[in-house]
Amino acid sequence: MSLPGKVTIYEVGPRDGLQNEAASVPTDVKAEFVRRLLAAGLPVVEATSFVHPKWVPQLADAAELMTALGEEGRDLPVLVPNERGLDRALELGLKHIAIFGSATETFAQRNLNRSLDEQFAMFEPTVRRAREAGLDVRAYVSMCFGDPWEGEVPVGQVVEVGKRLFDLGASELSLGDTIGVGTAGQVTALVDAFVAAGMRREQLAMHFHDTYGQALANAYSALQSGITTFDASAGGLGGCPYAKSATGNLATEDLVWMLTGLGIEHGVDLTAVVETSVWIAEQLGRPSPSAVVRALAQSPT
The answer to whether residue 99 scores a pLDDT higher than 60 is yes
Q: Is 78 helix (H, G, I), strand (E, B) or coil?
A: strand
Listed residue (38, 50, 48, 42) closest to 10, CA to CA: 42
Q: In angstroms, rounded to a whole number, what is the distance separating the alpha carbons of residues 211 and 220?
A: 17
Which of 37-41, 232-236, 285-289 has the lowest average pLDDT? 285-289
Q: Contact 34/76 with Cβ under 8 angstroms? A: yes
Q: In angstroms, rounded to a whole number, what is the distance separating the alpha carbons of residues 68 and 76?
A: 13
The answer to whether residue 179 scores a pLDDT higher than 60 is yes
Q: In angstroms, rounded to a whole number, what is the distance separating the alpha carbons of residues 264 and 62?
A: 34
The answer to whether residue 112 scores a pLDDT higher than 90 is no
Name the fold adopted by 8-297.
TIM Barrel (3.20.20)
Q: In angstroms, rounded to a whole number, what is the distance separating the alpha carbons of residues 67 and 59?
A: 14
Q: Helix-strand-coil percent breakdown of the chain, rounded to 5?
A: 45, 15, 35
- Quick one: average pLDDT of 48-67? 93
pTM for the whole structure: 0.95
pLDDT band for 239, please (50, 70, 90 cuts). low
List active site positions. Answer: 240
With the C-alpha atoms ordered 243, 64, 94, 91, is the resulting torsion angle positive or negative? positive
Q: In angstroms, rounded to a whole number, what is the distance separating the alpha carbons of residues 243 and 260?
A: 32
The answer to whether residue 214 scores a pLDDT higher than 50 is yes
- What per-residue confidence (pLDDT) applies to 300? 53
pLDDT band for 53, please (50, 70, 90 cuts). confident
The length of the chain, given as a count of residues: 301
The answer to whether residue 238 scores a pLDDT higher than 90 is no
- What per-residue confidence (pLDDT) applies to 245? 47
Q: In angstroms, rounded to a whole number, what is the distance separating the alpha carbons of residues 134 and 104?
A: 30
Q: Where are the alpha helices (DSSP H) in the chain?
A: 27-39, 62-73, 83-91, 105-107, 118-132, 155-166, 184-196, 215-224, 252-261, 270-284, 291-297
Which CA distances in Å does 216 have to 12, 17, 248? 16, 17, 12
- What per-residue confidence (pLDDT) applies to 54? 84
Listed residue (95, 90, 169, 156) closest to 127, CA to CA: 169
Q: In angstroms, rounded to a whole number, what is the distance separating the alpha carbons of residues 105 and 203?
A: 24
- Average per-residue pLDDT in the chain? 94
